[in-house]
């Protein structure tokens, strides 16, 4: 009886093992489309033998663990590549947005308006005794000024929008690090294998790595520590998270600065936020948009100064009025990169000539038919010293259109570079995803095979138990 009872127990352990295998396989199949799910499997181990007389007999099977198929090295690689992709993808998208603001479209844009303006200048110079060409010149000059102002203002609006996005990303980072810390708690205190919790945590780590550069360290008891990349700033330490702080900098256009409580003191760490969307947004806000605005400022300031310098020496149609400005004068600041700051936002037609086409100065002498000043103004189109490109206050480069084309070409080159980097990182990430899938992804074909195996094992153990039960009944009947 003891021997048969032991055999019954062996069969029961076999049923339990097969049932566990069926449950895990069914769970795998259910999660075949779950992002970040790692395929699970049942690890079985033979129970210790039992002595019967001089023999050692097996006592069945134990369920050792339910394990998840994952490779920590691949997960680390995936995280680092997501850091890179998050940065390059965001840079590309934001720079394309910048390009869409300043590029020309059909019959509109700065370049198109420059062409109209200088064509109008040539037409006015060719008919200095007529009022209509002067009126058309004022209209084309006003359109050019409006285009420059509008594009500049749109860049400022984009800068403000990206600034708000910086705050949103910081909030999202803090939310994710808090959730990762909470999962660390659940994982470290779980009585069972926390496979699904670890998968969920890894999904959040991947989401976090798209936002900011991070380093992830494996700790004891399935815990992880998350640092800002290449720093000692701990975002998640074991079971606690440390939030980043976003503060408005009133001394810098109310832009959000990012700080970390280092040694109890809030420390500005903006320059140490590398990779991910956060670096891209801060670089666009603090470097790329200001650089493009600066070039528009240089373009506008050069246009104002060059045109006014010639126009002031000419005479209006009455032959006596002189020293008139065509554009509203702009006073440059101290020598430096930003000495023309605000010129693009301020450029407009001067009140000296606004709605007064007769005051457009085309004559050098005041004589009827004299177009010398008009010709000089038209010749500015080919002048190669109309832009102060280095901030020293001197107009020493140009032409207007060449400077504008150079600006667009530089932006286009930066976009192409960002696109190439994005494509490279996407290709690398696809490769890593493929390697990860080989290890962790659920294969329905493999799971179908396992279902059959566990089904047969379950049926065989059931038959074994039925047989033992029948033999036990026979023995009991014989003893009656």
Question: With 80 as the cut, is the pLDDT of residue 43 above it?
Answer: yes
**Are residues 213 and 349 located together in one domain of the fold?**
yes
**317 in a domain, yes or no?**
yes
In a domain, 350, yes or no: yes
- CA distances for 469 relative to 4, 14, 465, angstroms: 8, 15, 6
pLDDT tens by residue, 449-464: 988 888 888 888 788 7
Give the rounded percent of residues in the chain with a pLDDT score beyond 90: 58
Regarding whether 54 and 91 lie in a shared domain, the answer is: no
Lowest mean pLDDT among 33-47, 145-159, 228-242: 33-47
Give me the pLDDT at residue 51, please.
65
- Regarding whether 49 and 17 lie in a shared domain, the answer is yes
> pLDDT of 328-374, one tens digit each?
999 876 666 778 889 999 999 999 999 999 999 999 999 989 999 99
Question: Using an 8 Å Cβ cutoff, are 123 and 449 in contact?
Answer: no
Contact indicator for 312, 322 with CB cutoff of 8 Å: yes
Q: Are residues 143 and 39 in the same domain?
A: no
125 has pLDDT over 60: yes
Look at residues 359, 291, 374 and name the one whose alpha carbon lies nearest to residue 124.
Answer: 374
Distance CA 401, CA 407 (A): 10
Residue 432 lies in a domain: no
Candidates 219, 218, 227; CA nearest to 177 is 227
Q: Are 344 and 364 in contact (CB under 8 A)?
A: no
227, 273: one domain: yes
| The pLDDT value given to residue 280 | 96
Looking at the structure, tell me whether residues 276 and 212 fall in a common domain.
Answer: yes
Are residues 234 and 227 in contact, defined by beta-carbon separation less than 8 angstroms?
Answer: yes
Q: Judge whether 110 and 147 are in contact, CB under 8 Å.
A: yes
3 band by pLDDT with thresholds 50, 70 and 90: low
Domain residues for the domain of 9 are: 2-69+442-479
In a shared domain, residues 264 and 381: yes
Tokens standing for residue 433 = 């995803």
Instruction: Indicate the average pLDDT of the chain.
Output: 89
What is the count of structural domains for the chain? 2
Tell me if 200 is assigned to some domain. yes
pLDDT of residue 418: 95
């Amino acid at each position: 009886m003891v021997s048969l009872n032991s055999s019954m127990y062996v069969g029961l352990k076999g049923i339990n093992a097969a049932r566990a295998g069926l449950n895990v396989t069914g769970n795998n199949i259910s999660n075949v489309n779950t992002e970040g799910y790692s395929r699970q499997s049942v690890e079985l181990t033979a129970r210790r033998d039992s002595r019967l007389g001089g023999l050692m007999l097996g006592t069945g099977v134990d369920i050792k663990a339910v394990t998840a198929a994952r490779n920590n090295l691949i997960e680390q690689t995936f995280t680092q590549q997501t850091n890179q992709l998050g940065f390059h993808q965001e840079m590309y998208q934001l720079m394309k947005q910048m390009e869409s603001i300043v590029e020309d479209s059909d019959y509109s844009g700065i370049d198109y308006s420059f062409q109209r303006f200088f064509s109008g200048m040539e037409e006015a110079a060719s008919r200095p005794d007529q009022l209509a060409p002067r009126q058309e010149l004022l209209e084309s000059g006003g359109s050019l000024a409006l285009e420059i102002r509008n594009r500049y203002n749109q860049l400022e609006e984009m800068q403000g929008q990206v600034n708000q996005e910086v705050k949103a990303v910081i909030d999202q980072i803090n939310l994710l690090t808090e959730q990762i810390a909470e999962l660390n708690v659940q994982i470290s205190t779980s009585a069972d294998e926390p496979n699904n919790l670890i998968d969920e945590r890894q999904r959040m780590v991947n989401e976090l790595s798209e936002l900011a550069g991070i380093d992830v360290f494996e700790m004891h008891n399935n815990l992880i520590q998350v640092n800002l990349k290449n720093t000692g700033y701990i975002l998640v330490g074991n079971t606690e998270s440390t939030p980043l702080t976003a503060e408005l900098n009133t001394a810098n256009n109310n832009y959000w600065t990012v700080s970390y409580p280092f040694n109890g003191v809030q420390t500005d760490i903006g320059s140490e936020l590398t990779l991910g969307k956060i670096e891209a947004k801060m670089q666009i806000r603090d470097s790329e948009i200001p650089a493009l605005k600066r070039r528009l400022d240089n373009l506008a300031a050069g246009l104002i100064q060059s045109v006014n310098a010639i126009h002031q020496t000419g005479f209006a149609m009455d032959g006596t009025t002189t020293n008139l400005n065509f554009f509203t004068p702009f006073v440059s600041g101290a020598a430096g990169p930003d000495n023309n700051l605000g010129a693009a936002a301020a450029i407009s037609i001067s009140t000296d000539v606004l709605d007064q086409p007769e005051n457009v100065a085309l004559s050098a002498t005041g004589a009827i038919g004299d177009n010398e000043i008009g010709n000089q103004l038209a010749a500015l189109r080919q002048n190669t010293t109309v832009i102060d490109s280095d901030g020293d206050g001197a107009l020493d480069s140009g032409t207007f259109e060449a400077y504008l084309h150079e600006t667009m070409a530089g932006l286009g080159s930066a976009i192409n570079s960002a696109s190439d980097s994005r494509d490279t990182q996407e290709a690398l990430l696809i490769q890593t995803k493929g390697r990860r899938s080989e290890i962790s992804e659920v294969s329905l074909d493999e799971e179908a095979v396992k279902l059959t195996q566990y089904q047969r094992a379950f049926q065989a153990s059931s038959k074994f138990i039925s047989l033992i039960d029948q033999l036990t009944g026979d023995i009991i009947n014989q003893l009656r």
